[in-house]
Amino acid sequence: MTANTQPVKKDSILILDIDGTLTDSIAMHQEALLGAMQTLMLEHLNTDWGSYPHHTDTGIFAHAMKEHGRTGISPDQMASFERDLGSRFSVLLAERGLREITGARTFVKAMETTRWGVVFATGGIRSVSRQKLHAVAIDFVEEALLTSSEHAARDDLVKAARVRAMHLYDMDKPRAVVSVGDGLWDMRVASALGLGFVGIGSPDSASGRALRTQGATVVDDLGDVIRCLESS
């Protein structure tokens, strides 16, 4: 299957986060990231990942290195970091397996027969993001996956996802663009770029409460996203 051979003409874009939105992978990813960052031997490593200017793997790596006087990161250094992170995540995945967020695979599959063209935009690196989607059997094409391996800043990542979707689904001017995610950064980027946003999070989860406090539309079941999209 390719993204531009869909049975239904696509006129709108759906940008999907992965961690916490499609896969229950946040804790596993953060464990792998911590291990990869600790090998850098940075004396005062800030492990509050959410406090970094760019909440992405490569954004965190670059900022932490700069804060410790290690500027001018080479492609080889970045590649080494990504290999280490990918390897650590692979080990954890093999040990523990990975669950989808309830209904994720069915939801993504259902989008194939709608007017919504799906792309994935995630703060994880490409190798790890591939592993997550494969682990829960979510079908995707490489061109529809945008990661921090290509864009360290989340706003650049989401902007690139929009442009990629327009190309993949042959849209001159999308009727609507909606981002779906579980974090405040997902909501803030969507707002800054003038996109629609639907949050994922149960009423008793910290992320769900935070999004609701900020006035976001939040659902605790991916099936409910479809009803939100119908009004877009």
Q: State pLDDT tens for residues 42-57.
A: 999 999 998 999 999 9
Domain ranges for the chain, please list them: 12-25+100-229, 27-96
Q: What DSSP line would sit under 198-211, residue for residue?
A: EEE--TTSHHHHHH
Query: Average pLDDT, whole number, for the chain?
Result: 93
In angstroms, rounded to a whole number, what is the distance separating the alpha carbons of residues 198 and 137? 23
Taking residues 74-97, report their average pLDDT. 97
- pLDDT (0 to 100) of residue 186: 93
Query: CA of 129: how far to CAs of 3, 133, 175, 178, 201, in Å?
Result: 18, 6, 28, 21, 20
Q: 12-25+100-229 in CATH: which number? A: 3.40.50.1000
- Class of residue 224 by CB neighbours under 10 A (exposed 0-12, middle 13-18, buried 19+): middle
Closest CA to 181 of 119, 132, 231, 138: 119
Taking residues 214-224, report their average pLDDT. 88
